[in-house]
Structure 1
């Protein structure tokens, strides 16, 4: 009996953590500023003590959301390339990148302080994301579908520019249009 109860408790704990992470990600992406820890707990349907048990500080929550989003971007790149031709996979990934940018914007003050203090290694994340972009570009070049003269840095700069002027949650149609134009420019023969 005690073993079953222990398993149930661990499952509840994992479910609460996952729920907190999902809600925090959504609120960071859609809120006008950094949401309070209390608002995140309330939205997740847990008490503030449960939130602090999983994430003792705002920084620990931001770190978890940030790392989760980077993992989703890099894993998402591999999954999309396994399922779709490189141009279609890249275009779908651009939407994931936009969500990541929006999420970062919602936790920007805390994130910048963490980068400045060395708690988060910005250079490592940059390397991971550029490698994901290179995967799309390499696959597209090998298939003769994407231009050979575009670098991962070029594409990342374009994406950041697009999402600076067209926040994906406030100007979704504009962001989609700009991403489609960018994709057209990345294709061979454009």
Structure 2
């Protein structure tokens, strides 16, 4: 009898994961106005199942964004395990900014979600801060990044590029990444940055 609740919980988790995968893809491909019923159908679950997990469109949107951003931020740890911190940082920045450019409408929708019960940006800030800190800490260890830059300052620079990316070409974004990497390089450091 104890196996049934486990299976039910396992099925519920599987359904939730599937809904988030489909929602992220569908919102990116078809727009944020896509009906939740269409997302449920594509995920192979009933509308009731979707609304049990995500009672509003905003809740689904925020959860899909969190899941996708978590996947992007998690790559920082994987990259520093395989490359120098400088190489990992460049790759992570390219990955994050590709995600940001592909999901530019998400921020507008998340602003509307702030009016609900939680601030969706607090979670996003924590994820991004963790990824940037991972990269900077690795750079301090292997010597490939400056050690005098606070993670909050680096995160503001990344945010500035992400904002500019909404109105820039991919080539311009890659040039901005190059400029940021030059700023993070210990070999181009002429003066220390104070907190």
Does the aligned pair in 1 maintain the 2:97–2:162 contact within 8 Å? yes
Q: CA deviation at 1:89?
A: 1.5
Residues 167 and 47 of structure 1, relative CA distance in 2, 3 Å threshold: farther
1:111-130 alignment, distance < 5 Å: 111-120=110-119, 122-123=121-122, 125-130=124-129
Distance in 1, matches of 2:127 and 2:5, equals 37
Which residue is equivalent to 2:53? Answer: 54
Residues 177 and 185 of structure 1, relative CA distance in 2, 3 Å threshold: same
Which residue is equivalent to 1:186? Answer: 184
Residues 107 and 36 of structure 1, relative CA distance in 2, 3 Å threshold: farther
Q: CA deviation at 1:57?
A: 1.6
Residues 136 and 189 of structure 1, relative CA distance in 2, 3 Å threshold: same
Q: CA deviation at 1:140?
A: 0.9
Distance in 2, matches of 1:99 and 1:74, equals 13
Distance in 1, matches of 2:115 and 2:159, equals 20
Residues 167 and 26 of structure 1, relative CA distance in 2, 3 Å threshold: farther
Q: TM-score, normalised by structure 2?
A: 0.70
Q: CA deviation at 1:86?
A: 0.7
The range that moved more, 21-30 or 123-132, is: 123-132
Distance in 1, matches of 2:161 and 2:85, equals 20
